[in-house]
Structure 1
């Protein structure tokens, strides 16, 4: 399965929210367990576009199947730092699409002036951790009991990438 990587646009919002919901409901990858209401999700996506944040989607057979964005952190002293987010429909994983999404988003982030990108990943998500390491991210710490799903706690790994390391 092949996918094209494209900048996020308004016409992607509905399908992107559907992908977000599928990934969230898996209960393994995101901080929330279902997508926010349509109006809230669309407002979030509009804000990404208005702020010109690095954001790309993967499109296969005319459908959005994944996304990657780099959102700025808060505070002037951290204006150089972005937080990366990524999600991909289950049937499109393991095909290099996640890496392509991340490379495209990182390229846009560097061009926007970010010099540090951060992410968190659940410690039991070994496949994603390997991907992030292949792209140059390094482990910077463990956040104990950072996630709780159905009463079960999971640690999260904190990873970072500096501009000069890519």
Structure 2
């Protein structure tokens, strides 16, 4: 079996939670520094799926989650046309084109869901991610100064968005 990108379902939740924890503990790519309790993560994943929002996973040779991409809703009726992108890959899955495949699947589903704007925030020192987002048409909308605080250090982040 080669790497595949599929819509997330309940059979992926435990493996997805494990992958979330691994990436979070890198203290570089996510707002979280460790995964929340499994039950909280499952409620988030199921809520996105039940709401028809994009959630995709990349599965490795052993059918375990090695990456994911989701677009979650934004609070408020006047912002119901907007989704917030989340994406990550396990270290061993990076550089294999999976990020682009996950991103395309999530964008396609977001547009089909009726969203017309996808927002994201990416640390300024995450050049590979910024290049990927730019390749897909995400535009820089501003610099969020001191937006992330990890291990005693502040990091700036770029606000980016893609319009349909």
What TM bracket, shorter-length normalisation? over 0.9
Residues 113-162 of structure 1, C-alpha deviations (whole Å, 9 max, x = no match): 11110000000000100000001101100000000001100001000000
Partner of 2:162: 161
Is structure 2 residue 123 aligned with structure 1 residue 132? no
Equivalent-residue separation in structure 1 for 2:49 and 2:132 (angstroms): 27
CA RMSD in angstroms, aligned pairs only: 1.1
Equivalent-residue separation in structure 2 for 1:30 and 1:2 (angstroms): 26
Partner of 2:38: 38
Partner of 2:86: 85
**What runs of 5+ residues in structure 1 fail to find an aligned partner?**
none
Structural mapping, 1:8-47, within 5 Å: 8-47=8-47
**What runs of 5+ residues in structure 2 fail to find an aligned partner?**
none
Partner of 1:104: 105
Equivalent-residue separation in structure 1 for 2:114 and 2:126 (angstroms): 29
Partner of 1:73: 74
Equivalent-residue separation in structure 2 for 1:48 and 1:112 (angstroms): 12
Residues 80-111 of structure 1, C-alpha deviations (whole Å, 9 max, x = no match): 11101001111111111001000000000000
Is structure 2 residue 146 aligned with structure 1 residue 145? yes
Structure 1 residue runs of 4 or more that deviate by more than 3 Å after TM superposition: none
SS in structure 1 of the partner of residue 52 of structure 2:
coil
Is structure 2 residue 119 aligned with structure 1 residue 118? yes
SS in structure 1 of the partner of residue 158 of structure 2:
strand
Equivalent-residue separation in structure 2 for 1:126 and 1:27 (angstroms): 16
TM-score by length of 1: 0.95
